[in-house]
Amino acid sequence: MLSSFALCAACSTSSVSADANIATVALGKQADALAAPAVPGVNVPAIKVDTVGYPSGWPKVVIFNVDPAGAQLFDANGQAVGPIEATPKALGEDAASKDPVWQVDLGELPAGRYSIGVGEARSDVFEVGPKVYDTALVAAQKHFYFQRTRTALVEPYAVWEGDAYLRETASHVHDDVGWDLLDYPAKKRKWTVEGGWHDAGNFDMYVPSTAPTSQALLMAYDANPSLFADNQLNIPESGNGVPDLLDEARWGIVWVLSMQEDSGVFRANEAVVKWSPEGPADKDKTERWIAGPSSSATAKAVAVLARASVVYRPFDAKFADRCAAAAKKGWAWLEQNPGHLRAEKAPDSEQPLWDDEPEFNDFGARFIAASEMWRAFQEPAAQKRIAAALADERCSVKEINSGAWANLSRWGVAVVAADDTIDAKLREDARTKLRAAADELRMRVEGEDGYRCASGLNDYYWAHNSNLLEKAHVLAVAAEVFDEPAYEQAARDQWHWILGRNPNGYSMVTRVGKGPTTIYHMEWGETDRPPPGYLVGGPNYSNMRFLSPDAPAKALLWDNPRPLRTGTPAHAMWHWKQEELWEGGFIPEGEWIEGWWAVTEPDIIYNANLVLVGASLI
């Protein structure tokens, strides 16, 4: 059985950045601990590429950690195609990685598979062509099927490239599911819940993450509906005439709907009080409780349901009407209850409360709720709420670019900036903020980071990869609203970073390019190869600084010098078992103060951002 630190890890994501200058806390037997992060030419390539590839027509920027003079292009068979004649851009030492960096744009290349070499250095193989990201986008969506609860996972659906990820029976349908936490520890009232996804590597579920996850999937569909088709994902609903992405999003939405009280307010989560066992989800019989009402959960639910009422109408008018009715009821409750109602947890619980933790508020949730209520229904009161939000300091450029899940102001700004039906002044105010946010990110990409990453030095904290994709989405929306190619290229740079053109030399998505070989996950951690499309949290200098004391962008991997007692071979790089931190001397034996969940755990909202950015760029 694992510690509650482990099981609640991804739910505890924070939008508060780590100060890169704060003192390091010594953990474990530091004399024995040996950080072994990514080192160019030693355990990762000294030439970094998008390990999936580059679409024809896109710039093809490659990062060299060695002087590129004399570099050659090779075909898939390792035969030299010719010299790389582009002029390199020498940038010196990159602050986030401490790597020497040269940027080289390969220019136009015929469709094919290539690698790059100079001296002893060789890049990973990458593809150039018109549809290089098709499989990546499918994998990113397929991840949600493997996160479903209240269903068995069966063939032929639970299969990827010959590997089966099966669950014998439906999970979390046992008799101890749905007890009302307001009666805890007594078991008096019981909720009937349906559908939903496990939030992360744990089996718990939270409206403040599930609602924006579903919303991001709907936003992805709205951004590029031609990308999403029926029969695309090989899920049980395939063939029903509805795009598979919308079928998958519905699995999350129906759970959100089941969390609404008659008053209109939504409950915050369905979770255990302490922790669940590691293993197949259908073997977990732990008591699951429905937490109390929350204004943050309600506002985020209202936002996704308002959008769902529009998106699903051509496919299922009855479901669209259900979503509309629930959204309007939730909105009425929000209007009648302007204060932040925070859910509470059991006295002996270590469960996180997401937006209802003391350091957070419901501002961003209410902003996006108002934006979506106007967009879907032209709700008169919504414009007043939007005007107040745009004038609030919690909708600053800083918050737009770093609000993460706790402050969805960026989505409120994006929706209003693109809405031609709203008051013109509000639209222009939103566009002014959007441009300022995009300019800040573009400046960082073009002039500060050697890997063309939009993260600042203080941004390598929990959920870095998801937060980076949120920045990419800001840039992509700005590119669309302002018809500005430079914003679009900066957004593409973040996509390339996620898929391998980064200091760690790996794609951050399982089974996509050269991706993680393991993930921190209760159900899938022990698999020989992880299921597809899981975006891991990524470098976390705030929690895992001991993995890379001097380079924030590399606080992720550990090149273990010898085989470990867990059976992990030497030089594995990717890890998830707590014993490996103990054996490495990073934290004391038996302690759970930090863990791999801080870097290699996935989360549904991470993947929602992955799908959303993919739809915005591809």
pTM above 0.75, yes or no: yes
Q: Quick check: 23 pLDDT over 60?
A: no
CB 33 within 8 A of CB 585: yes
- Domain residue extents for the chain: 47-129
Record the tokens describing residue 173, joined without a space. Answer: 């349908």
> Which tens digit of pLDDT belongs to each residue from 28-58?
344 357 899 999 999 999 999 999 999 999 9
List pLDDT tens digits, range 372-412: 999 999 999 999 999 999 999 999 999 999 988 889 999 99
Q: Which CATH superfamily is domain 47-129 in?
A: Immunoglobulins (2.60.40.10)
Mean local confidence (pLDDT), 355-370? 95
Q: Which long-range contacts (CB under 8 A, 24 or more apart) does 230-237 make?
A: 232/138, 232/141, 233/138, 233/141, 233/142, 233/145, 234/142, 234/156, 234/157, 234/159, 235/142, 235/145, 235/157, 236/157
Dihedral through CA 422, CA 427, CA 429, CA 431, nearest 10? Answer: 160
Q: Which of 11-15, 30-34, 190-194, 356-360 has the lowest mean pLDDT?
A: 11-15
> CA-CA distance, 16 to 610, in Å (whole number)?
21
State yes or no: pLDDT of 111 exceeds 80.
yes
pLDDT band with cut points at 50, 70 and 90 for residue 21: very low
288 Cα distance to chain centroid:
25
- Residue 24 — pLDDT band, cuts 50, 70, 90? very low
Span 481-493, average pLDDT: 98
Residue 359, pLDDT > 70, answer yes
Is the pLDDT at 3 greater than 90? The verdict is: no
Per DSSP, the residues of 281-330 read GGG----EEE--EEHHHHHHHHHHHHHHHHHTTTT-HHHHHHHHHHHHHH
pLDDT, averaged across the chain: 94
Question: Can you give the length of the chain in residues?
Answer: 618
Q: What is the pLDDT of residue 276?
A: 84
How far, in whole angstroms, is CA 197 from its chain's centroid?
14
- Angle, helix 295-311 to helix 207-223, in steps of 10 degrees: 30
Cβ contact 585:190 at 8 Å: no
Please report the pLDDT score of residue 10 as a whole number. 41
Instruction: Name which of 327, 351, 404 is nearest 605 in CA terms.
Output: 404
Task: Return the ∠ at Cα 237 (arms to 234 and 242), rounded to 5°.
Answer: 100
Q: Which of 355-364, 431-440, 605-614 has the lowest mean pLDDT?
A: 355-364
- Is pLDDT at 591 greater than 80 in this prediction? yes
The answer on pLDDT for 233 being more than 90 is yes
What is the Cα–Cα distance from 395 to 120, expressed in whole angstroms? 49
Residue range 506-544, pLDDT digits in tens: 999 999 999 999 999 999 999 999 999 999 999 999 999
CB atoms closer than 10 angstroms to residue 87: 8
Whether 8 shows a pLDDT value over 70: the answer reads: no
Question: Which pLDDT tens digit goes with each residue over 270-310?
Answer: 999 988 888 999 999 999 999 999 999 999 999 999 999 99
- pLDDT for residue 13: 42
User: pLDDT class for 351, splitting at 50, 70, 90?
Assistant: confident
Per-residue confidence (pLDDT) for residue 22, from 0 to 100: 30
SS3 content of the chain, % helix, strand, coil (to 5): 40, 10, 50
